[in-house]
Amino acid sequence: MRIIRERLGATGHEGVESEVLERLVHSSGDLSIAPDLRFSAGACQRGMAALASGAVILTDTAMAAAAVAPMAGRTFANPVRSILGWAPALAPAGGTRSAEGMAAALAEHPQAVVLIGSAPTALERLLELQQPASLRAPEPSLALSPALVIGMPVGFVGVAESKRHLAGSGLPQIRLEGSKGGAGLAAAAVNALLRRAWLDRS
């Protein structure tokens, strides 16, 4: 971590935001992540408060859930669930299993900490559900208020667009711009928050 800090130099991030960045670099070996990392105001603090209160952590893949569960178990015992546990066996016409799983998972856990490292369609569905009812297609009524959205889907199809939509959503968020991301990075971000919240507990 000392080597990472020295090589990163001044990043404009301080405190827990710096710790998140360092964990992302540690997980990826990629110092070029730094300019692409974005935090909404107070996002880390809101996320840590939710995690410390035992909030459910929803992930878009089983891989991300497996990467978060050990740290959650050592700290606040947060339930860690993949949205695929709510997904239908087959994708609906014109949709994806991840998007359907996200809608169903949020119906049960509307104030979860949400990690998205692979599925931009799941991120887009979350954002659709967050819109006022008058602006979206008919959906079950949700008091949707995620404690934090970690938006780091990886790839080149719909990824950058979903992140731009997240940026304009007003939701508490940590995101990586562009095509970078993945389950490991999304998990590293929430693990950094869990670790800091645990160390800061009174």
- The residues assigned a catalytic role are 26
Q: ∠ at Cα 138 (132, 139), nearest 5°? A: 80
CA dist 45 → 20, 50, 66, 151 (Å): 12, 9, 24, 17
Question: Can you give the three-state secondary structure of 142-181, one letter per residue?
Answer: CCCCCCEEEECCCCCCCHHHHHHHHHCCCCCEEEECCCCC
CA dist 146 → 28, 36, 126, 166 (Å): 26, 23, 9, 12
Could you count the other beta carbons within 10 Å of the beta carbon of residue 9? 8
Element (H, E) at 74: helix 62-74
Over the range 157-187, which residues count as b (16 or more CB within 10 Å of their CB) and which as e?
eebbebbebbeebebbbbbbbeebbbbbbbb
Do residues 188 and 12 touch, judged by C-beta distance below 8 A?
no
